[in-house]
Amino acid sequence: MSKKEFVQAERQYTLDLLQKLSPKQWHASTLCNGWTVEDIVAHLVARERSTYSDIGLVLPSLHYIHDKKINSIKAKGHDYILKKLAHYPWWMPAIANTAEFYIHNEDILRGELQMQRPRPSKEAGEILWKALHGITKIRKDLVADLGSVQIENIQTGAVLTIENKHADKDTVIAGLPGELLLFVYGRRSAAKVKITTTKI
């Protein structure tokens, strides 16, 4: 399975899920604090179709730019959102969506809707593990509060180590790749991982 095939599968899962939801369920809360299902999928459209609005995600003082775009997309209705999600923009590299669609699908499923789906296949797990490896290289701050961190992939036995020279503790986080990715991206309470912390 290639990254593009994985992203296409996650995108199709999003579409299939949305088409099964009632109008009321579109307004269900998710793991993204303050965001409904509708907000999340409008965000997915915005980041692909209106990349200038992404600056609002990077700079807190400009959040209103992204929020304004999300509201504009929501105002066009659910059919519009579904139509846009159904077409993969040719200019969007798969690597930019590897974690995005998986995490937001889980945000929707594990929020107020309390739905589940089968765990990712081994092939999908390998792709998610690579995505995790990439993000921890550039965003060590995501787990800085946990000291020096060792992330263990229980599917393959692979390990990622994130050193923190100012750490007063060591933390081991073990789980399946998708769960580890959710944990690192801030969905800690929902991620199914085992955490062991040792004071230095």
Span 2-29, pLDDT tens digits:
999 999 999 999 999 999 999 999 999 9
Query: What pLDDT sits at residue 63?
Result: 67
Q: Which residue do the tokens 């750490």 mark?
A: 167
Span 117-135, pLDDT tens digits:
999 999 999 999 999 999 9
Whether 62 shows a pLDDT value over 80: the answer reads no
Query: What pLDDT sits at residue 52?
Result: 52
Kindly provide the b/e burial profile for residues 97-112, where b requires at least 16 CB atoms within 10 angstroms of the residue's own CB.
Answer: bbbbbbbbbbbbbbbe
> What domains lie within the chain, and their CATH numbers?
3-109 (no CATH), 122-199 (3.30.1050)
pTM of the predicted structure, to 2 decimals: 0.90
Segment 83-92 long-range contacts (CB within 8 Å, at least 24 positions apart) = 84/45, 84/48, 84/49, 85/11, 85/14, 85/15, 85/18, 85/41, 85/44, 85/45, 86/15, 88/7, 88/8, 88/11, 89/48, 89/49, 92/48
Query: What pLDDT sits at residue 127?
Result: 96
Over residues 27-52, mean pLDDT = 89
Whether 56 shows a pLDDT value over 50: the answer reads no
Tokens of 127: 């792709």
Whether 64 shows a pLDDT value over 80: the answer reads no
Whether 53 shows a pLDDT value over 70: the answer reads no
